[in-house]
Structure 1
Amino acid sequence: MQVESPQQISIRTPMLNCQLLVNVVSLVAGAAAAYLWWRSAIAQVTHAEAQRRNAGGGGLTVIGRDGVAVNILETMNVQSKWNRYAAISACIAALAQVVDSMLKIFF
């Protein structure tokens, strides 16, 4: 059994704290991405809401899953917004995992 010197221990402790922090960032960002993609999946803008937003509205309208008239273009805009946030969050989670792997390799 090899005993670590005090210098090795003092270097290792901050690295473990960094790895823990990076893993927490990855977990939070991954959970946020899942939530944001769920929001994107359920987002819909009704025809009435689209008319209020656009002062007259217009655009293609269909009957949605619950029998309500849904404006497709406005719904796609809202879904696109949530998808963008989810992709950014997923990117942060992936980058945090890269940093974690690099910390494990080099330290």
Structure 2
Amino acid sequence: MDFDGFQLLIERDYKEFAEFEENSKNMSLEELKENHNNWRNKMKDITEKYGFSNESEKDPDISLFMVKLTYFYYLAMFCWKSLRAYTERLAEEHQKLKKSKRKTTAKKKAKKKE
């Protein structure tokens, strides 16, 4: 793939991730986890397909190498941010569960006293 191809991939994925960030507040925990897994798999596939190194080329093109690294950087950031959104939601759900458990336990103790 050439320089312009990687630029187009960066733009496409950036738009896709911006939509995810916008919609992530309304997503369920399962949707957030699925989205993170999709980004992680995409990063794995792209890395396997295009690789990081320029060693295979006899006359390496530094601009192509830099745009590749930029693309991999963006993929890593998207993957990390989707994981952060998932873990933050997981923490919120955990806190809600703890609060409801405390309320349930307090009600049971109050009934036992009566």
Task: Compare CA radii of gyration and give the structure with the larger one.
Answer: 1
Bigger share in helix: 2
Q: Same fold (TM over 0.5)?
A: no
Bigger share in strand: 1
- TM-score, normalised to structure 2, is 0.40
